[in-house]
């Protein structure tokens, strides 16, 4: 497969995503309107009378019919305008740009932590099935998945911040004494490196550590279990027996042949885990005062801030489309038998 | 004491993008004597209190970054907590004021030498523009101005640079106090006008992101959803200069984390903790817990008169006799309030408000009243509360449910999400039995009655209607407190509240604020936001 066909296929895949994105737009639009609660009443404030509620309703454009509202929304979207969030008073695009990188940075680091713990655990368990190693692995991942995230989070804060005092104060992305680096990517660690400020880099990393570990612990289970399962399957297949019989070194058999072939299902799980983490780290955000996208969405939902909810869902949908595409491309790199055209 | 000062208005920007890169906040923040670190659950969503959709935490911007014409005095409670004194008005931007002989206008003298952050003098024209804006924008600011009978731009006149006149539509005791609430703030009208457009004549877009005023603090940094940083305006003339140079307000959504930050000494002030945490922190003795009863506010049970059984006064009284007051106060409120039950008589001796209602837990009396009303076998009723206030409302409902069962009333608990609460409880007024916590900004029983007991008012979620209440409220609302008609009328009004009990108060909640011992100068305000101007911090 040469480069240009690959690009064409990727473009094709992106085109295929358009109907689903449109579907998501329609569904979110209708769902937000179906929510109980009247945003005009809410945003009119504590001392509002009927007249001021009506004024707010008109200024939000909620006095128009649903199809009319939808057309206006679509028209704005085409121009790249996600609208202005009523609850925060800022354009939704600006809010997303401010908060999405915070969530992504946290999620990616959590994922790296999760992978670096879960995959060795899974491999160890698979090479020694039903021994004490396997049992310990099972215990760790079960504990990780059964403890609620807010509990793990508060527990970590209690031990490492409150009792031991080794972790920085759980005050979001940077401790009070630091100011954020000049924004390039809005990933504070990367921006700090770009600015060449290593102290700031380590400060940002220290703030990330506890929430990332909390979030990562929760996702150890699916990754470790999937690694173990896939490895067990591959290890019992014919080509591994042949390799072993040919006297290849144990590590070569394990990593070059077995692990590479077990990677496909692991990658699939990874994709699912990533999207799951991105959407579900609200509780971690709350505990660590992390200014991420999850708390933004929940707050918008609570106050029926339609525009913000729509923008959030749309951004997530696009992110998922891109994520799935990335995973598909990674498949072709790992296993040449997999085509993109399926 | 009032304190504020002024600052050079630089376009202090909203996002991180416009801020020059500084490695550290200059004063190295926490731990320093001149910097105050505050942790709170929610932060401001706008720099402009007069904008639509501005949330409650944004009121602190109006308080700390802007001036009003007048401010309030201070009084000290028995336990040492300071609170504002609604009976004393003090000069802020207005050096002095004078009510005309006929009582129909007030003339304010603007303070000489007072300047905005950009160094421009504050004039009566700025006041005029700002007041015009408040009454013209509609929504919350306009409604709040109207409470003080400030309704249209024609009422305001800038006679010259230092003389501002308000023409009154009617004599009202609420007009002057209403000038001290967070809404009628003074904008730098030149800056605002320069940023106004034809579509947006009041510069709402600009002022939403960028404050333009002359208050004691100026904005150093605002990262929405994360933090707000104030810097002292050292040329402020309208009060004593604030005791701290910088205030960092960090948003920390988890209450447990906020408590940990205070206990570890990383935060100087911790806000919005659950009553249980405040009770424990107070017990530990390591922190100062400032507790002021929230004025004109009641945690109460509302009985909707559209619900058949509640149409009978006996049934409402029976409910008032079956509330487990003491249990609720101890187990739901952790005693962070003032009891509002067990009053002595159905005819009030004073016009103090709020005061305990003459009810107590008495199941026999309740049963007798129910029998008299023809409900000896009880009835079923949904009991609703706002999920947003679940911390104290939920245990309150559970305790209430238990004791209502003792008199044969079966209450089913109905949890309503915060966003629906206003619609269901206040607009549609369809909840038969519900938990209320309304508090009025201006501290008068007639003002409470105006919002809660008068027919059709937003907070009359009980659908209560009584001709005498209507009449007395209308008559007393604008009447001066020392007017001879005031006291007998209010006594009559309170005796109706007692006897008819569409609203059963349980306690008057405290506003609790926990601070380090080194921090002094916290002062309670009706708007429940921190007035950072009065804070002082001892250097360690």
Residues B337-395: tens digit of each pLDDT: 999 999 999 999 999 999 999 999 999 999 999 999 999 999 999 999 998 788 889 99
**Residues in chain A within 8 Å Cβ distance of B29:** 176-177
Kindly indicate the confidence band of residue A280, based on its pLDDT and cuts at 50, 70 and 90.
low
pLDDT over 90 percentage in chain A: 15
The Cα of B184 is separated from the nearest Cα of chain A by a number of Å equal to 15
Residue A7 shares a structural domain with residue A154: no
Distance CA A300, CA A309 (A): 6
Residue A38 shares a structural domain with residue A104: no
Determine the average pLDDT of the residues in A277-300: 84
Residue A179 shares a structural domain with residue A50: no
The minimal CB distance from B45 to the residues A87, A98, A200 is found for A87
Structure-token pair, residue B469: 């209440």
Residue A206 shares a structural domain with residue A63: no
pLDDT over 90 percentage in chain B: 65
Looking at A92-101, A273-282, B240-249, which range is the least confident one? A273-282
Rounded (10°) CA dihedral B483, B487, B488, B489: 80
pLDDT of res. A196: 87
Conformational region of residue B467, where left means phi above 0, alpha means psi within -120 to 50, and beta covers everything else: alpha
Residue B516 C-beta-side C-alpha neighbours within 13 Å: 25
Residue A14 shares a structural domain with residue A127: no
Q: Which residue has the higher pLDDT, A257 or B105?
A: B105
Rounded alpha-carbon distances, angstroms, from residue B528 to B65, B69, B83, B84, B110 = 16, 20, 11, 11, 28
Residue B441 neighbours by CB under 8 Å, 6+ apart: B144, B147, B181, B296, B526, B527
Rounded alpha-carbon distances, angstroms, from residue B102 to A89, B99, B131, B171, B179 = 44, 8, 23, 10, 20
Nearest CA-CA partner of B247 in B119, B64, B48: B64
pLDDT of res. B464: 94
Determine the average pLDDT of the residues in B436-446: 87
Residue A62 shares a structural domain with residue A123: no
Distance CA B129, CA B126 (A): 5
Determine the average pLDDT of the residues in A116-125: 91
Mean pLDDT of chain A: 84
**Residues in chain B within 8 Å Cβ distance of A169:** 261, 264, 266
Q: Is the pLDDT at B13 greater than 90, yes or no?
A: no
Q: Chain B neighbours among A 127-166 (CB < 8 Å)?
A: 154, 157-158, 161-162, 165
Residue A153 shares a structural domain with residue A287: yes
Q: Does residue A250 lie within any of the structural domains?
A: yes
Q: Is the pLDDT at B15 greater than 80, yes or no?
A: no
Three state DSSP letters for B180-211:
CCCCCCCCCHHHHHHCCCCCCCCCHHHHHHCC
Residues pairing with B160 in the sheet: B163
The Cα of B284 is separated from the nearest Cα of chain A by a number of Å equal to 16
pLDDT of res. B23: 41
Residues B166-212: tens digit of each pLDDT: 999 999 988 999 999 999 999 999 999 999 999 899 999 899 999 99
Kindly indicate the confidence band of residue B467, based on its pLDDT and cuts at 50, 70 and 90.
very high
Q: Does residue A101 lie within any of the structural domains?
A: yes
Q: Which of A147-151, A189-193, A237-241, B368-372 holds the top average pLDDT?
A: B368-372
Q: Which of A313-317, B436-440, B512-516, B536-540 holds the top average pLDDT?
A: B512-516
Residue A171 shares a structural domain with residue A112: yes
DSSP B408-419: T-EEEEEEE-HH
pLDDT of res. A147: 87
Mark yes or no for CB contact A171/B23 under 8 Å. Answer: no
**Residues in chain A within 8 Å Cβ distance of B54:** 45, 89
Rounded alpha-carbon distances, angstroms, from residue A236 to A231, A232, A262, A339, B182 = 9, 6, 12, 26, 74
pLDDT of res. B16: 33
The Cα of B224 is separated from the nearest Cα of chain A by a number of Å equal to 8
pLDDT of res. B28: 43
The Cα of B26 is separated from the nearest Cα of chain A by a number of Å equal to 9
CATH number at residue A257: 1.10.3720.10
Q: Which residue has the higher pLDDT, B306 or A169?
A: B306
pLDDT of res. B19: 34
Which chain A residue is nearest to residue B29, measuring alpha carbons? Answer: A177
CB-based contact B408:B342 (threshold 8 Å) = no
Q: Is the pLDDT at B8 greater than 70, yes or no?
A: no
CB-based contact B425:B304 (threshold 8 Å) = no
Kindly indicate the confidence band of residue B24, based on its pLDDT and cuts at 50, 70 and 90.
very low
Q: Is the pLDDT at B9 greater than 60, yes or no?
A: no
A270-308: burial string, b at 16+ Cβ within 10 Å, e else: bbbbbbebbbebbbbbbbbbbbbbbbbbbbbbbbbbbbb
Mark yes or no for CB contact A38/B223 under 8 Å. Answer: no
Kindly indicate the confidence band of residue B539, based on its pLDDT and cuts at 50, 70 and 90.
low
Q: In which element (H, E) is residue B492 found?
A: helix B486-500
Looking at A10-14, A21-25, A206-210, B525-529, which range is the least confident one? A10-14
pLDDT of res. A218: 86
Kindly indicate the confidence band of residue A48, based on its pLDDT and cuts at 50, 70 and 90.
low
Residues A172-187: tens digit of each pLDDT: 888 877 878 888 888 9
CB-based contact A314:A24 (threshold 8 Å) = yes
**Residues in chain B within 8 Å Cβ distance of A291:** 223, 225-226, 251
Q: Which domain holds residue A193?
A: 92-302
Distance CA B156, CA B159 (A): 10
Residue A236 shares a structural domain with residue A134: yes
**Residues in chain B within 8 Å Cβ distance of A285:** 253
Parallel, antiparallel, or unpaired: how do β-strands B105-110 and B163-167 relate?
antiparallel
Distance CA B56, CA B187 (A): 20
Distance CA A259, CA B27 (A): 53
Kindly indicate the confidence band of residue B399, based on its pLDDT and cuts at 50, 70 and 90.
very high
B430-449: burial string, b at 16+ Cβ within 10 Å, e else: ebbbbbbebbbbbbbbbbbb
Residue B322 neighbours by CB under 8 Å, 6+ apart: B361, B363, B366, B403, B404, B406, B407, B409
The minimal CB distance from B21 to the residues A52, A87, A182 is found for A182
Q: Is the pLDDT at A312 greater than 50, yes or no?
A: yes
Domain count along chain A:
2
Q: Does residue A323 lie within any of the structural domains?
A: no
Let me know if B234 is exposed, middle or buried by CB neighbors in 10 A (0-12, 13-18, 19+). Answer: middle
Residues B139-163: tens digit of each pLDDT: 788 888 988 999 999 999 999 999 9
pLDDT over 70 percentage in chain B: 94
Mean pLDDT of chain B: 88
Domains of chain B from N-terminus onward: 67-194 (3.90.76.10), 299-510 (3.10.105.10)
pLDDT of res. A9: 75
Mark yes or no for CB contact A157/B16 under 8 Å. Answer: no
B90-126: burial string, b at 16+ Cβ within 10 Å, e else: bbbbbbebeeeeeeeebbbbbbeebbbbeebebbbeb
Determine the average pLDDT of the residues in B306-325: 95
Residue A20 shares a structural domain with residue A102: no
Q: Does residue A326 lie within any of the structural domains?
A: no
Structure-token pair, residue B268: 């100087």
Distance CA B150, CA B433 (A): 36
Three state DSSP letters for chain A:
CCHHHHHHHHHHHHHHHHHHHHHHHHHHHHHHHHCCCCHHHHHCCCCCCHHHHHHHHHHCCCCCCHHHHHHHHHHHHHCCCCCECCCCCCEHHHHHHHHHHHHHHHHHHHHHHHHHHHHHHHHHHHHCCCCHHHHHHHHHHHHHHHCCHHHHHHHHHHHHHHHCCCCCCCCCCCCCCECCCCCCCCCHHHHHHHCCCHHHHHHHHHHHHHHHHHHHHHCHHHHHHHHHHHHHHHHCCHHHHHHHHCCCCHHHHHHHHHHHHHHHHHHHHHHHHHHHHHHHCHHHHHHCCCCCHHHHHHHHHHCCCHHHHHHHHHHHHHHHHHHHHHHHHHHHHHCCCCCCCC
Residue with tokens 């100011």: A179
Kindly indicate the confidence band of residue B297, based on its pLDDT and cuts at 50, 70 and 90.
very high
pLDDT of res. B496: 95
Q: Is the pLDDT at A25 greater than 90, yes or no?
A: no
The minimal CB distance from A52 to the residues B29, B139, B260 is found for B139
Determine the average pLDDT of the residues in A299-319: 83
Which chain B residue is nearest to residue A48, measuring alpha carbons? Answer: B140
Kindly indicate the confidence band of residue B491, based on its pLDDT and cuts at 50, 70 and 90.
very high
Residues A126-147: tens digit of each pLDDT: 988 889 989 998 898 888 888 8
Residue A69 shares a structural domain with residue A107: no
Structure-token pair, residue A81: 């305008």
Best B28, B418, B419 member to test A by mutation, with max A CBs in 10 Å, is: B419
Residue with tokens 């947006």: B200
Residue A70 shares a structural domain with residue A26: yes
């Amino acid at each position: 497969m040469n480069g240009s066909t690959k690009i064409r296929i990727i473009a094709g895949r992106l085109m295929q995503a358009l109907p689903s994105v449109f579907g998501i737009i329609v569904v979110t639009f209708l769902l937000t309107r179906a929510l109980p609660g009247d945003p005009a009443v809410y945003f009119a404030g504590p001392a509002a009378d009927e007249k001021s509620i009506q004024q707010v309703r008109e200024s939000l454009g909620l006095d128009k019919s649903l199809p009319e509202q939808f057309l206006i929304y679509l028209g704005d979207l085409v121009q790249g305008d996600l609208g202005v969030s009523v609850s925060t008073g800022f354009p939704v695009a600006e809010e997303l740009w401010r908060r999405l990188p915070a969530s992504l940075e946290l999620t990616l680091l959590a994922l790296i932590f999760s992978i670096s713990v879960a995959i060795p655990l899974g491999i160890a368990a698979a090479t020694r099935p039903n021994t004490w190693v396997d049992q310990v692995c099972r215990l760790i991942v079960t504990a990780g998945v059964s403890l609620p995230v807010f509990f793990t989070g508060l527990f970590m804060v209690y031990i490492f911040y409150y009792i031991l005092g080794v972790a920085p104060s759980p005050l979001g992305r940077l401790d009070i004494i630091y100011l954020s680096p000049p924004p390039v990517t809005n990933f504070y660690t990367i921006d700090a490196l770009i600015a060449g400020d290593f102290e700031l880099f380590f400060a940002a990393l220290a703030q990330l550590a506890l929430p990332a570990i909390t979030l990562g612990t929760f996702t150890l289970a699916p990754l470790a279990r999937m690694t173990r399962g896939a490895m067990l399957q591959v290890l019992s297949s014919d080509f591994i027996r042949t390799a072993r019989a040919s006297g290849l070194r144990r590590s070569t058999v394990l990593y070059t042949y077995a692990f590479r072939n077990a990677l496909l299902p692991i990658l699939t799980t990874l994709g699912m885990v990533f999207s799951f983490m991105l959407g579900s780290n609200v509780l971690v955000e709350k505990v660590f005062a992390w200014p991420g996208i999850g708390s933004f969405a929940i707050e918008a939902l609570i106050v029926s801030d339609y525009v913000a909810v729509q923008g959030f869902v749309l951004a997530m949908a696009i992110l998922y489309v891109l994520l799935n595409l990335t995973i598909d491309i990674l498949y072709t790199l790992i296993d040449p038998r997999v085509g993109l055209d399926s | 004491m009032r304190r504020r000062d002024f600052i050079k208005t630089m376009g202090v920007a909203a996002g991180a993008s416009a801020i020059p890169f500084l490695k550290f906040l200059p004063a190295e923040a926490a731990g320093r004597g001149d910097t105050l670190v505050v942790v709170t659950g929610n932060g401001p969503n706008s720099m402009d209190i007069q904008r639509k959709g501005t949330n409650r935490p944004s009121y602190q911007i109006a308080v700390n970054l802007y001036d009003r014409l007048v401010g309030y005095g201070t009084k000290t409670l028995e336990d040492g907590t300071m609170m504002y004194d609604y009976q004393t008005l003090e000069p802020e931007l207005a050096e002095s004021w004078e009510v005309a002989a006929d009582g129909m206008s007030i003339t304010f003298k603007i303070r000489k030498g007072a300047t905005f952050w950009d160094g421009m003098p504050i004039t009566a024209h700025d006041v005029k523009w700002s007041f015009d804006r408040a009454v013209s924008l509609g929504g919350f600011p306009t409604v709040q101005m109207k409470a003080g009978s400030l309704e249209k731009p024609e009422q305001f006149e800038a006679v010259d640079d230092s003389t501002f006149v308000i023409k009154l539509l009617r004599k009202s005791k609420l007009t002057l106090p209403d000038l001290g609430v967070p809404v009628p703030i003074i904008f730098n009208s030149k800056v605002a006008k320069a940023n106004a457009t034809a579509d947006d004549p009041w510069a709402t877009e600009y002022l939403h992101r960028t404050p333009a005023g002359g208050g004691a603090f100026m904005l150093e940094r605002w990262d929405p959803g994360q933090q707000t940083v104030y810097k002292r305006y050292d040329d402020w003339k309208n009060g004593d200069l604030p005791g701290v140079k910088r205030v960092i307000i960090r948003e920390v959504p988890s209450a447990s984390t906020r408590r940990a930050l205070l206990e570890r000494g990383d935060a100087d002030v911790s806000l919005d903790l659950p009553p249980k945490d405040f009770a424990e922190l107070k017990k530990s003795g390591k922190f100062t817990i400032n507790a002021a009863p929230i004025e004109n506010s009641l945690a109460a049970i509302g009985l909707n008169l559209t619900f058949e059984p509640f149409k009978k006064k006996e049934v409402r009284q029976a409910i008032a006799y079956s509330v487990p007051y003491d249990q609720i106060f101890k187990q739901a409120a952790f005693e962070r309030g003032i009891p509002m039950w067990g009053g002595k008589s159905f005819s009030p001796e004073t016009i103090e408000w709020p005061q305990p209602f003459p009810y107590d837990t008495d199941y026999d009396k309740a049963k007798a009243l129910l029998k008299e009303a023809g409900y000896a076998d009880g009835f079923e009723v949904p009991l609703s509360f706002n999920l947003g206030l679940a911390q104290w409302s939920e245990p309150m409902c559970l305790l209430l449910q238990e004791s209502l069962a003792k008199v044969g009333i079966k209450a089913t608990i109905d949890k309503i999400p915060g966003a629906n609460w206003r619609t269901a409880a206040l607009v549609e007024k369809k909840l038969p039995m519900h938990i209320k916590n309304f508090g009025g900004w201006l501290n008068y029983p007639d003002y409470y009655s105006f919002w809660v007991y008068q027919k059709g008012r937003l907070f009359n979620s009980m659908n209560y209607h009584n001709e005498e209440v209507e009449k007395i409220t209308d008559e007393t609302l604008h009447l001066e407190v020392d007017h001879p008609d005031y006291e007998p009328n209010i006594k009559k009004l309170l005796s109706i509240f007692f006897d008819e009990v569409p609203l059963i108060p349980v306690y008057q909640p405290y506003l609790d604020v926990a601070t380090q011992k080194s921090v002094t100068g916290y002062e309670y305000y009706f708007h429940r936001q921190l007035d950072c101007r009065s804070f002082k911090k001892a250097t360690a």
